Amino acid sequence: MSAVRLLAIPCLASLALYVLAWCLVVPRLLARRRAAGPPPGGLPGLSILKPLCGLDEGLEANLASFLDLDHEPLQIVFGVADPFDPALALVRKLVRARPPRDVAIVVGRTTAAASPKVALLEALLPHARHPIVLLSDSNVRLAGHEPGAILPLFAEPDVGMVYQPVVARGERTVAAAIENLHYTEYAAFLTIAINALVGQHTVNAKGMWLRRATLDALDGFATVRDSGADDYELGRQVQAAGWGLVPAALPVTVVQRDWSWRSLLARNLRHAGLRLRICPLAYPCELLVNPVAWALPLLAFPGWAPLVVAVVVLKLALELSAARLLRGTRLPPRFVPVALLKDLVIFACWFVAPFQRTACWRDRTYRLLAGGRIEPVPAAAAAPAGALETAA
C-alpha cells in the first residue's frame, strides 16, 4: 500500500468518527435547551468541598460564584494545606463581605495521600454535613441554577454519582485558547459522544456530585490516595461498588484566561501520560479523533490538497459549532485558527507522553506509575490535618 493511502485511510476514518460524534452530541445539546425549565423544589442539602492552593487566575470570581448560590440548605467547606496560603485570606475576605452563610475553613491535610488534592479532600470530608457532596476544583465557576438542575438526578436511591461534562472559556492568550478548546472538545464533546455511543463513563473532577452514603461505603477517598486521575478512579470505584453513575446534561464551566505555553504543555503531557498508564490499549484510539493531524501530511503529495482543505474545514466547522453550543459563547474570531494549531499540539503531546516518566503538578514532581498512580519525588512533609475555622 502506498504511503499516501496509509495517511488517507486514518484521515477519513477519523473524520467519519468525528461526524458521528457530532451527530450524537448536537441533537442532545439542542434538546437540553428546549427542555430547560425551573428547578423542582424539595431538593436535598448540599456540601461543597473546595480544596485550594494559591491564587489561581480568576479565583475571586470563581469562589464568589459558590458563595452567591441561592440553594438551601448549602454548606461550603474550603481547605488549604498551608496556613500561609494566600487563598486563605481571600476566602475570609469574601465570606466577610457577604451575608452569613454556612461556611467552614479547614487548614491542613492528611499525610496518607500521595495526591495533594486528595490529601486536602480527606481533611475536608469529615466536616461535610449534607447527603450530597460536590467535589469542586478552584478554577470552576458555578451558575446559580446548577444545583437545581443536578440534584434532581439523585432522585433514584441507587445513583451514587452524577458527573458533568466540562467546558472551558475566557481565553486571552493563544495557549489559553488551545487549552480551552481542547478541554471543551475532550471533556465535554467527546465525553458526551462516548457515553452515547458505547455507554462509557468519563468522569472529570470539575463537576463530581456524590451521595455521602456512597463515599462512606468506599471509606471516603482511601481508594484514590495515590491516583493521579482520582476523578476517573473514583467513578470506577463507585460503579464497581454497585452504585449508578449518571452523566448530567448541564456542563460545568472552567475559566482559563492567561495560560502560558509551559502550563499548557505540562498539563497535557501529564494527562496523556496518566491516560496511557491507566488504559494502554485505549490510548492508540485517541489518534482516531484528530483528523486534522492526519490530513495535513497529505499536502506533501500532488493532487491531495482539495481533500486536505475539505477535511480541515469540515472538522473545524463541526468542532466550533459544538463548542458554541457547549460554551454558550462564540469563539473570538482571532482564535479560530488556534483550533487548527490545537490539533497539532495535542497530536505532538500524544507521541511525547510515553517517554515522560515524571510530571510536575502544583510545583511538585511525581513519578507516573502503572494504573495512573503517582509517587512524590521526593516525598514532602505535609501539615497536620484538622484545624477548623467556622464562619457563621
For the chain, which domains are there? Answer: 3-29+278-375 (no CATH), 43-164+204-259+378-391 (3.90.550.10)
Is 90 exceeded by the pLDDT of residue 234? yes
Q: What is the pLDDT of residue 11?
A: 93
Q: How many Å apart are CA 276 and CA 279, to the nearest integer? A: 6
Task: Convert the pLDDT of each residue in 193-228 to its tens digit.
Answer: 999 998 999 998 898 999 999 999 999 999 999 999
Q: What is the pLDDT of residue 392?
A: 41
Is 60 exceeded by the pLDDT of residue 343? yes
Is 80 exceeded by the pLDDT of residue 47? yes
Q: How many CA atoms lie within 13 A of 100 on its CB side?
A: 3
Q: What is the pLDDT of residue 358?
A: 94
Q: How confident is the model at residue 381 (pLDDT cuts 50, 70, 90)?
A: very low
CA angle at 339 for the pair 333 and 345, rounded to the nearest 5°: 145
Residue 145 vs residue 82, higher pLDDT? 82
Task: Convert the pLDDT of each residue in 18-32 to its tens digit.
Answer: 999 999 999 988 876
Q: Which of 358, 383, 377 is nearest to 114 (CA)?
A: 377
Range 276-290 average pLDDT: 93
Q: How many Å apart are CA 229 and CA 235, to the nearest integer? A: 10
- Write down the pTM of the prediction: 0.90
User: With contact defined as beta carbons under 8 Å apart, do 316 and 291 qualify?
Assistant: no
Is 70 exceeded by the pLDDT of residue 341? yes
Residue 111 vs residue 348, higher pLDDT? 348
Which grid coordinates belong to 372? 495512573
Q: What is the pLDDT of residue 386?
A: 54
Q: How confident is the model at residue 370 (pLDDT cuts 50, 70, 90)?
A: very high
Range 315-329 average pLDDT: 95
Q: How confident is the model at residue 378 (pLDDT cuts 50, 70, 90)?
A: confident
Residue 148, helix vs strand vs coil: helix
Q: What is the pLDDT of residue 96?
A: 95
Give 253's strand partners: 141, 167
Q: What is the pLDDT of residue 364?
A: 84
Strand 387-391 to strand 103-107: parallel, antiparallel, or no bridges (unpaired)? Answer: antiparallel
